[in-house]
């Protein structure tokens, strides 16, 4: 497929009426230079040397411009990655390192640029490369043993439990759409294959195939200067987690796959879940969002995966959308507080200066992400001493918020619903795999 697709891509680049080319031409001179470089690849010019300047230029523009102005550059980034990977594979003689890098280049096109107009082709090309050149190697044997789980510190940052509703409401009317609630234990997502399969490292590796990359957060807390992001091997990331058939490899740092559209990379996983009917319910907006708008994509729905080890924390923050949050593997504790406590949450009032390190989503083309929706208070302190230090630093929070806050520990199969504007923080009690659905 690779050489056929190479010729097809060149033909599209020369067709001034093709939709992808129409967008690419908005890159100005960069389009003509890119087209000339693409044609030269037929003359055995080194693909990485030829394409890297366009990949770098496109990435620079994507991170500089607002999202509404980045389509042409995302197309350029994607097509440059495609040509680079195809040329690399075409010149190979069973070279594992080069074929693995070709798959990694294609994953970057998905993760960083969203692969507009090329996603299906990239999926097919990755599959062809894997089937013809790569094999899924056995996992490194781990001689470690799972340690007994000690009880985590129980914070006093909440006073009531999130209500569990049984049976589920038939309609998500105003009675149910204004406050959080939980649908418990398999009742609403009982048919999901994911509830069993996603607890297996072997299954997750087989779905992705060899050579894949994923975006991973490095560090326990994204509010700290030490926190960063990294693209790393899916296999290496999975081996950092505890699975029933494979204990975690020792790690010097906390790794967390957070707020990532994993289905865009591994579409086979999407067949393992269903979409709860509630996300299509168009609930009444809460009073704090009188002009509420659902996500602006075609489906009005954003689905993200969250996979990480025991102790992973998402600090207290707010989101602008309704959330249907499904716990698939492991247990996760969720803390929630209503929008009217905003003035007591001690939110950050400055923007993050280091965009490259602090933007939570590598493909989110935001020049200066704000932290004003994130609290400086640790609602999951790890000790009584840490809680006392927090009480001293943030007295208004500890004086008034716990009386209004809720908490629940979700188990596999539990579904948590909560409206936009609610403050929420999360802590994994063990290896945890969750799906959030913003609608």
Q: What is the pLDDT of residue 363?
A: 46
- What average pLDDT does range 110-132 have in this prediction? 96
**Residue 339 falls within a domain, yes or no?**
yes
Q: For residue 25, what are the domain limits? A: 2-133
pLDDT band at 358, cuts 50/70/90? Answer: very low
**In terms of domains, do 193 and 129 share one?**
no
Among 90, 114, 133, give the residue marking a domain's end: 133
The domain spanning residue 360 has which CATH number? 2.60.120.650
Least Cα distance to 340 among 295, 280, 429, 401 occurs for: 401
**Residue 304 falls within a domain, yes or no?**
yes
Q: Is 110 left (phi over 0), alpha (psi -120 to 50) or beta?
A: alpha
Are the C-beta atoms of residues 262 and 248 closer than 8 Å to each other? Answer: no
Ranked by mean pLDDT, the top range of 144-158, 173-187, 363-377, 394-408 is 394-408
Q: What is the pLDDT of residue 355?
A: 33
**In terms of domains, do 44 and 176 share one?**
no
The predicted-structure confidence for 390-427, as pLDDT tens digits, reads as follows 999 999 999 999 999 999 999 999 999 999 999 999 99
pLDDT exceeds cutoff 90 at 351: no
The predicted-structure confidence for 227-254, as pLDDT tens digits, reads as follows 999 999 999 999 999 999 999 998 899 9
**In terms of domains, do 324 and 232 share one?**
yes
Q: What is the pLDDT of residue 45?
A: 63
pLDDT exceeds cutoff 90 at 115: yes
Structure tokens at 310: 């025991």
Above pLDDT 90, what percent of the chain?
70
pLDDT exceeds cutoff 50 at 7: yes
Burial of 161 (0-12, 13-18, 19+ CB in 10 A): exposed
**In terms of domains, do 348 and 216 share one?**
yes
**Residue 281 falls within a domain, yes or no?**
yes
**Residue 313 falls within a domain, yes or no?**
yes
pLDDT band at 360, cuts 50/70/90? Answer: low
Q: Which of 348-357, 358-367, 395-404 has the lowest mean pLDDT?
A: 358-367
Q: What is the pLDDT of residue 63?
A: 95
pLDDT band at 353, cuts 50/70/90? Answer: very low
Q: Give the Å distances, CA to CA, from 39 to 13, 42, 102, 122.
A: 10, 6, 19, 20
**In terms of domains, do 222 and 344 share one?**
yes
pLDDT exceeds cutoff 90 at 88: no
Among 133, 151, 169, give the residue marking a domain's end: 133
Question: Tokens 């086979």 identify what position?
Answer: 268
What is the chain's percent helix, strand, coil content, to nearest 5? 40, 20, 45
Instruction: Let me know the angle formed at the C-alpha of 429 by 423 and 434, rounded to the nearest 5 degrees.
Output: 65
**Residue 253 falls within a domain, yes or no?**
yes
pLDDT band at 1, cuts 50/70/90? Answer: low
**In terms of domains, do 125 and 248 share one?**
no
Based on the structure, what is the number of domains in the chain? 2
**In terms of domains, do 173 and 71 share one?**
no
**In terms of domains, do 280 and 412 share one?**
yes
**Residue 154 falls within a domain, yes or no?**
no
Are the C-beta atoms of residues 329 and 305 closer than 8 Å to each other? Answer: no
**In terms of domains, do 109 and 21 share one?**
yes
**Residue 153 falls within a domain, yes or no?**
no
Which stretches within 91-188 are classed as H helix? 96-113, 119-133, 174-177
Query: Residue 142: phi, psi to the nearest 5?
Result: -105, 130
**Residue 152 falls within a domain, yes or no?**
no
Q: What is the pLDDT of residue 298?
A: 86
**In terms of domains, do 113 and 256 share one?**
no
Are the C-beta atoms of residues 425 and 379 closer than 8 Å to each other? Answer: yes
Among 133, 148, 177, give the residue marking a domain's end: 133
Burial of 346 (0-12, 13-18, 19+ CB in 10 A): middle
pLDDT band at 186, cuts 50/70/90? Answer: low
- What average pLDDT does range 143-160 have in this prediction? 75
Residues with Cβ within 8 Å of 148's Cβ and at least 6 positions away in sequence, in order, are none
Whole-model pTM: value is 0.91
pLDDT band at 171, cuts 50/70/90? Answer: confident
Q: Which of 24-28, 206-210, 281-285 has the lowest mean pLDDT?
A: 281-285
């Amino acid at each position: 497929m690779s050489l056929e697709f190479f010729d097809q891509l060149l033909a599209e680049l020369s067709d001034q009426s093709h939709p992808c080319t129409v967008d690419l031409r908005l890159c100005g001179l960069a389009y003509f230079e890119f087209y000339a470089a693409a044609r030269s690849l037929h003359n055995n010019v080194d693909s990485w040397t030829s394409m890297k300047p366009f990949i770098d230029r496109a990435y620079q523009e994507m991170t500089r411009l607002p999202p509404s102005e980045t389509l042409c550059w995302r197309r350029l980034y994607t097509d440059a990655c495609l040509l680079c990977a195809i040329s690399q594979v075409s010149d190979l003689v069973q070279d594992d390192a080069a074929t693995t890098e070709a798959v990694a280049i294609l994953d970057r096109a998905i993760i960083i640029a969203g692969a507009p107009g090329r996603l299906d082709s990239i999926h097919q090309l990755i599959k062809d490369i894997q089937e013809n050149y790569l094999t899924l190697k056995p996992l490194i044997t781990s001689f470690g043993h799972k340690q007994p789980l000690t009880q985590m510190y129980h914070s006093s940052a909440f006073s009531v439990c999130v209500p569990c509703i049984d049976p589920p409401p038939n309609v998500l009317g105003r009675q149910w759409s204004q406050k959080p609630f939980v649908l418990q234990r398999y009742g609403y997502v009982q048919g999901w294959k994911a509830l069993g399969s996603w607890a297996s490292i072997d299954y997750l590796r087989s779905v992705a195939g060899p050579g894949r990359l994923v975006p991973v957060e490095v560090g326990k807390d994204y509010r700290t200067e030490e926190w960063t992001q990294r693209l790393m091997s899916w296999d290496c990331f999975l081996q950092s987690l505890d699975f029933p058939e494979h204990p975690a490899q020792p790690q010097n740092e906390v790794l967390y796959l957070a707020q990532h559209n994993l289905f865009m990379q591994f579409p086979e996983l999407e067949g393992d879940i269903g979409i709860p009917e509630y996300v299509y319910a168009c609930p009444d907006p809460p009073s704090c969002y009188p002009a509420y708008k659902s996500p602006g994509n075609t489906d009005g729905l954003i689905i993200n995966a969250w996979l990480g080890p025991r102790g992973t924390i998402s600090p207290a923050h707010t989101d602008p959308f309704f959330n249907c949050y499904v716990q698939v593997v492991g247990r996760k504790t969720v803390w929630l507080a209503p929008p009217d406590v905003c003035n007591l949450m001690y939110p950050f009032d400055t923007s993050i200066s280091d965009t490259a390190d602090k933007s939570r989503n590598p493909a989110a083309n935001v020049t200066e992400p704000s932290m004003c929706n994130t609290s400086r208070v640790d609602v999951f302190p790890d000790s009584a001493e840490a809680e006392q230090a927090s009480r001293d630093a943030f007295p208004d929070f500890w004086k008034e918020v716990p009386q209004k806050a809720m908490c629940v520990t979700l188990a596999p199969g539990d579904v948590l619903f909560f409206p936009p504007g609610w403050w929420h923080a999360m802590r994994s009690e063990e290896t945890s795999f969750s799906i959030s659905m913003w609608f």
